[in-house]
Amino acid sequence: MIQAEVSIYPMATRTTSASFYIAKAIESIKNLENLRYEINSMGTVLESDDIDTINQATKNMMTTVHNLGISRVEVIIKIDSRKDKQVRMEEKVESIKKQMS
């Protein structure tokens, strides 16, 4: 199972808000096969069994923002690749919550 957190930062936009660009970037990955995603306030967590799917999703997101007229896009990616067992993103969160008092 591979999980990646992707944060997209459009540079030199006309406003300080990036939500329009991020929404369009996320729309660009909605129909990718073998991809699950979860939006959070600082990025988007992608989940797949295949790194190529993660890479394609990230490329789609970046290209979409460029195609909206943004000439510079910063993309930060953190990848967790686990081969010993399949753990979904929700299970990771639940494991943390169980440890909290």
- Domains of the chain, each with CATH number or no CATH: 2-99 (3.30.70.930)
Residue 76 pLDDT class (50, 70, 90 cuts): very high
Q: Please give the DSSP secondary-structure letter assigned to residue 28.
A: T
- pTM, to two decimals: 0.89
Measure the CA–CA gap between 22 and 14, rounded to whole angstroms: 15
Task: Give the residue, 93 or 74, on which the prediction is more confident.
Answer: 74
Measure the CA–CA gap between 51 and 19, rounded to whole angstroms: 26
CA 26 from chain centre, in angstroms, equals 8
- Residue-averaged pLDDT of the chain: 95
pLDDT of residue 30: 97
Measure the CA–CA gap between 71 and 6, rounded to whole angstroms: 19
Residue 13 pLDDT class (50, 70, 90 cuts): confident
Residue 41 reports pLDDT greater than 90: yes
